[in-house]
A and B are shown apart, each in its own frame.
Chain A
């Protein structure tokens, strides 16, 4: 390869990353579900005909990282590339062929140039409702969790599959949004395909195979070089989650090899009877993210850059749920995986990891109207979810982030927007004082939320919360973050279960206290000026400042 070709390869790679970013932006601009358009719970990428991912949009969330990637292989197994036609779009929400629960739709679309198929575009998005029990842990099998879409064509050579759309519409509480979202996912892949073809024309390329080879070689070499910088060995850690019927222990032994990192989850708790189980692709996604964010954060996601991270997930453990175990809220378990992985990596590279954080999103699915109160309903039927985050763990050189999503990559929705789509009132959503774990660097603060229905009518929450019985841990002598709390706003502080469907009686409101992140290092070593600042801001009480930090005032 001569010097000019070398440079051109780089330009083409750069272009491909721009192509998938356009794909993702198109989805955000056309999606109906607030989960996609406001919160950014989505993923988009381009693949070769063997189903290997070449590039993934930076916009998106880690839960889809390699789960979407694995998914394309399943589509190709059912519909070989040779059988695909221009204008075809394929869809599924199978948790085991997609990204781990029925609420995630994955769409795959072939890209054609001069009548030849040249690549595939895939995307994944979290939609608001897919029928069944609704988003929540209560299902005892996947069949209760909603409409199950096998891999089918939703568009056949540009023509909508009306039978599919008929089933889709009647299966959801939000049919218009769901149908609109499917259109949006297809439009976004079309946008990517159009750009890819333009790129091939411009560079006079007949296929993306040579470029794929270059991307894969560079990415693999760079990832292995980063792995080689780590001290070899096996490092073990465990973490406790509140679970549903019983506490759950996640256990990992992470081995740094010469050219790979292997994680064995032996010793992890068994399956739950409820929807907190994690399908293996989702376990791989968040484990990979936990490794990558520490070890090789600058290397873009693709088939080769993810290949050196291998997971051994024993059968029968909660991280390897088989069909038809319920998996609707697999995130509440899976989002603890980066904390677990960092518990291992802390022993190898202590200055590159962060303390444990709130980690699991606090997303209350709220429901009201006749579905909750029957004929006594005082408000119209509604189904709404908002994404909210506690504090992240302290960082070696910086405090944790207050009320910020990690590891998830989603955003929250404006309260005004939520109140515009459902008869709910948020009476409070602000930072929670004294919730951050103390340390030389402290954790991020959690938040407090108080939510009622309009007119303080009866409504229900399908709770999916964690870190209530098991607070986020500090590291290196840092304190734990304050644990979460779920209950009512009444005088005696009625406590609710952290998971499951519960009715908030008329006249009462739901009160959520989101966990703070763990601290890092000895609190006595913290800069007193920073302690004073937090006291002046009302985030640390004077009493806590004296007690925890030994502040004089």
Chain B
């Protein structure tokens, strides 16, 4: 079988994963921000050499990148203009007219990507049903295009009120712009994000336009570079919704690429859950700066359509630019190994979201950092062997870590530095557990019967204690945890999601209109997928976003993937009540139900993975050393055995408290837990009844 290569460009590292015939190679190279394709090409040559393959052996390259996200955060996108309805020049500046922090008089609100001078209006107006109240003033469109030309605009977003119901004015304005200015990249709100709520729709459209020229150039250079390096195979892009798409579609809707790395991590977890036949898991990815948690049921991450990018108020909800695009639903909080701890005015320990980053890094790195980070706290608890951190690649220094913990935490609370370290680790674990809880309530789900899949540098260290806090008794640490996102890319289907608004009430349900819309959406999605994966077997998923008439938040209800019959309508209505009750205990009597929008996803079938068979018990290896570790639940110090993961055969079991060490991370097995290597070589931690 031919090989497939995945490349994930992150802020610091470019991760690669290469697979052929069930064998896997991984590599990490430094990201080259000025010309990211160079890092990709360097890494590709390295991994090919390591695997002993030729470029022509690669049948498919799958790529994900934070490039678009970084352009939005650093404000390095195109000079973008917004053409909008007269009277609504400031929709993206007024936003929701709210402060995301009630008690901070000095907050900064996110600045719009398009300054007011380039937000240009034309007379036109539709009503909520898409009827024309005021025809488009075409002469005004021409005048504004001239203004844009004079201002040196590089990309155009068009956003008119109610265009998601009827795109006629947006389309006409775009046609005029194309005729006057061939080659100007144009994004229409009715295409980029065809949903109600003008701020979110315009914000998404503007962001798409803002990153489009840069992403189109980059993707072009990458394609050329790969071809010149002998990789003439197709190139697919990872989408934030968890599917893959072609370069052409990615270049049209680059905003759909923003969260591809974390999406890869979620797909990775979903695949692991399938390999192990675990129907309900919590994906827990903890890195240096943030932790991401994501609920995965029946081997598929949850889909969402709301996302915020480039938050200015640290990780505060509401302080970023809203995007309405298909994304994998997850929560990301400022909790990582580099997160800094301090004590607030009430004598409470706080952790993050400020991070020590790579420079100076935690105090224990000995690079001049004086503030205590989570890594310092883990070290103070005895969880790391200072001489052997990261496989001995880096030596940690205990004294500065204890000094930092003493000065910034312990001294203020009457605690010694070790207990201060305990407080910091407990607080960061609590914060991650709380994030998981909020994520669960927002999804209407619980943790009963769930397993955690822990990866990233910090996931395996903190996994068992977070599990205890949310009442989970099983933690899985897969192999390859350091490049989880890139491995996830290799597991993703070629997929495309189309979302359209069509208002319906069950009292007056128009079966023909709904079927017409769904058929058109289905055809569009099939077209994109067939282009990317000709002839591959596909699966179609249809969803209606529904709510009680008068409510503001919709619940997704699955529809049959075929034309609806009159008989289906009552079944869909009943499915809504059942779904609502699952979320909120009791249905509301006497209310009609409305449908706001529909989503159709077409995806190639992912090859079925048979759940791995169990493996016979094997002898446990001898510990490679013993460390004195302080338990965060009881505060007691005890001798924890340390095992080398490489020496643990499949089927080997060790009892906690202990540590399973490998170069990329350490897996902590708490008191009352045991750890067994499963048939796939993954570590499975189980908590015995307490």
A412 to B: closest C-beta gap in Å: 4
Instruction: Please indicate the chain B residues that have their CB under 8 angstroms from the CB of A33 in the complex.
Output: 550
Q: Which A381-409 residues have C-beta < 8 A from chain B?
A: 387-389, 395, 397-398, 401-406, 409
B551 at the interface (CB under 8 A from A): yes
B128 at the interface (CB under 8 A from A): yes
Complex formed: what's the CA distance from A141 to B493 in Å? 65
Contact of B88 among A10, A429, A537 (CB under 8 A): A429
**In contact, B98 and A405 (Cβ under 8 angstroms):** yes
B430 at the interface (CB under 8 A from A): yes
**In contact, B87 and A397 (Cβ under 8 angstroms):** no
Chain A proximity mask over B99-135: 1 for CB below 8 Å, otherwise 0: 1001111101100000111000000010110000100
**In contact, A18 and B94 (Cβ under 8 angstroms):** no
- With both beta carbons as reference points, the residue of chain B lying nearest to A420 in the complex is identified as B128
**In contact, B128 and A412 (Cβ under 8 angstroms):** no
Complex formed: what's the CA distance from A8 to B422 in Å? 10
Residue positions of A touching B, CB distance < 8 A: 2-4, 6-8, 10-11, 13-15, 18, 21-22, 25-26, 28-34, 37-38, 40, 58, 60-62, 174, 176-177, 179-180, 183, 187, 190-191, 195, 202, 218-219, 221-222, 225-226, 292-294, 297-300, 352-354, 387-389, 395, 397-398, 401-406, 409-412, 414-417, 419-421, 425-431, 447, 450, 454, 536-539
- With both beta carbons as reference points, the residue of chain A lying nearest to B552 in the complex is identified as A37
B54 at the interface (CB under 8 A from A): no
A-B CB contact pairs (8 Å), 26 listed:
A3-B415, A4-B634, A7-B415, A10-B423, A18-B434, A28-B553, A33-B550, A37-B553, A195-B437, A202-B469, A221-B346, A293-B105, A299-B345, A388-B97, A401-B109, A405-B97, A409-B102, A414-B198, A414-B199, A415-B88, A415-B161, A417-B552, A419-B127, A425-B125, A429-B88, A431-B94
Contact of B590 among A8, A58, A176 (CB under 8 A): A176
- With both beta carbons as reference points, the residue of chain B lying nearest to A12 in the complex is identified as B430
Complex formed: what's the CA distance from A177 to B103 in Å? 31
Complex formed: what's the CA distance from A38 to B197 in Å? 11
**In contact, A403 and B94 (Cβ under 8 angstroms):** yes
**In contact, A292 and B115 (Cβ under 8 angstroms):** no
Interface-central residue, B108, B197, B584, B590, by most chain A CB under 10 Å: B584
Instruction: Please indicate the chain A residues that have their CB under 8 angstroms from the CB of B549 in the complex.
Output: 176
Instruction: Please indicate the chain A residues that have their CB under 8 angstroms from the CB of B551 in the complex.
Output: 30-32, 37, 180
B163 to A: closest C-beta gap in Å: 10
**In contact, A180 and B344 (Cβ under 8 angstroms):** no
B307 to A: closest C-beta gap in Å: 17
- With both beta carbons as reference points, the residue of chain A lying nearest to B164 in the complex is identified as A416
Instruction: Please indicate the chain B residues that have their CB under 8 angstroms from the CB of A539 in the complex.
Output: 116
11 further A-B pairs in the complex, CB-CB below 8 A; given A10-B348, A180-B550: A4-B634, A8-B426, A22-B438, A40-B98, A174-B550, A183-B586, A202-B471, A353-B105, A415-B161, A429-B94, A538-B116
B679 at the interface (CB under 8 A from A): no
Contact of A395 among B105, B109, B162 (CB under 8 A): B105
* Shortest Cβ-Cβ A-B pairs, 7 listed: A37-B552, A428-B87, A537-B116, A297-B103, A411-B98, A411-B96, A412-B97
Interface-central residue, B161, B423, B548, B552, by most chain A CB under 10 Å: B552
Instruction: Please indicate the chain B residues that have their CB under 8 angstroms from the CB of A226 in the complex.
Output: 345
Given A298-B345, A414-B199, also A190-B438 (CB < 8 A): no
Contact of B419 among A3, A294, A389, A429 (CB under 8 A): A3
Q: Which B469-489 residues have C-beta < 8 A from chain A?
A: 469, 471
B507 at the interface (CB under 8 A from A): no
**In contact, A30 and B99 (Cβ under 8 angstroms):** no
**In contact, B441 and A191 (Cβ under 8 angstroms):** yes
Complex formed: what's the CA distance from A180 to B503 in Å? 21
Contact of A404 among B98, B430, B583, B590 (CB under 8 A): B98
Given A14-B427, A37-B553, A425-B127, also A180-B98 (CB < 8 A): no
Instruction: Please indicate the chain A residues that have their CB under 8 angstroms from the CB of B196 in the complex.
Output: 414, 416-417, 420
Instruction: Please indicate the chain B residues that have their CB under 8 angstroms from the CB of A420 in the complex.
Output: 128, 196, 503
- With both beta carbons as reference points, the residue of chain B lying nearest to A33 in the complex is identified as B550
**In contact, B197 and A412 (Cβ under 8 angstroms):** no
Given A7-B423, A219-B346, also A25-B105 (CB < 8 A): no
B505 at the interface (CB under 8 A from A): no
Instruction: Please indicate the chain A residues that have their CB under 8 angstroms from the CB of B503 in the complex.
Output: 420
Complex formed: what's the CA distance from A401 to B105 in Å? 10
**In contact, B103 and A293 (Cβ under 8 angstroms):** yes
Complex formed: what's the CA distance from A291 to B195 in Å? 41
Instruction: Please indicate the chain A residues that have their CB under 8 angstroms from the CB of B434 in the complex.
Output: 14-15, 18
B378 to A: closest C-beta gap in Å: 16
Complex formed: what's the CA distance from A2 to B106 in Å? 38
Instruction: Please indicate the chain B residues that have their CB under 8 angstroms from the CB of A13 in the complex.
Output: 348
**In contact, B162 and A416 (Cβ under 8 angstroms):** yes
A529 to B: closest C-beta gap in Å: 14
A361 to B: closest C-beta gap in Å: 9
Complex formed: what's the CA distance from A400 to B550 in Å? 35
- With both beta carbons as reference points, the residue of chain B lying nearest to A455 in the complex is identified as B133
A10 to B: closest C-beta gap in Å: 5
Complex formed: what's the CA distance from A398 to B427 in Å? 34
**In contact, B550 and A32 (Cβ under 8 angstroms):** yes
Contact of B415 among A6, A425, A426 (CB under 8 A): A6
Contact of A430 among B89, B415, B416 (CB under 8 A): B89
Instruction: Please indicate the chain A residues that have their CB under 8 angstroms from the CB of B128 in the complex.
Output: 416, 419-420
- With both beta carbons as reference points, the residue of chain B lying nearest to A36 in the complex is identified as B552
B508 at the interface (CB under 8 A from A): no
B347 at the interface (CB under 8 A from A): yes
B86 to A: closest C-beta gap in Å: 8
- With both beta carbons as reference points, the residue of chain A lying nearest to B87 in the complex is identified as A428
Given A10-B427, A11-B430, A299-B345, also A176-B550 (CB < 8 A): yes
Instruction: Please indicate the chain B residues that have their CB under 8 angstroms from the CB of A405 in the complex.
Output: 97-99
Instruction: Please indicate the chain A residues that have their CB under 8 angstroms from the CB of B469 in the complex.
Output: 202
Complex formed: what's the CA distance from A132 to B189 in Å? 42
Contact of B105 among A294, A409, A538 (CB under 8 A): A294
Complex formed: what's the CA distance from A386 to B590 in Å? 26
**In contact, A18 and B552 (Cβ under 8 angstroms):** no
**In contact, A401 and B99 (Cβ under 8 angstroms):** yes
B612 at the interface (CB under 8 A from A): no
B502 at the interface (CB under 8 A from A): no
B214 to A: closest C-beta gap in Å: 24
Instruction: Please indicate the chain A residues that have their CB under 8 angstroms from the CB of B21 in the complex.
Output: none
Complex formed: what's the CA distance from A421 to B505 in Å? 13
- With both beta carbons as reference points, the residue of chain B lying nearest to A432 in the complex is identified as B90
B659 to A: closest C-beta gap in Å: 22
Instruction: Please indicate the chain B residues that have their CB under 8 angstroms from the CB of A388 in the complex.
Output: 97
- With both beta carbons as reference points, the residue of chain B lying nearest to A538 in the complex is identified as B116
Complex formed: what's the CA distance from A13 to B585 in Å? 27
Complex formed: what's the CA distance from A354 to B103 in Å? 13
Chain A proximity mask over B423-449: 1 for CB below 8 Å, otherwise 0: 100110011001001100110000000
Instruction: Please indicate the chain A residues that have their CB under 8 angstroms from the CB of B105 in the complex.
Output: 293-294, 297, 352-354, 395
**In contact, A31 and B552 (Cβ under 8 angstroms):** yes
Contact of A179 among B86, B89, B590 (CB under 8 A): B590
Complex formed: what's the CA distance from A389 to B419 in Å? 48
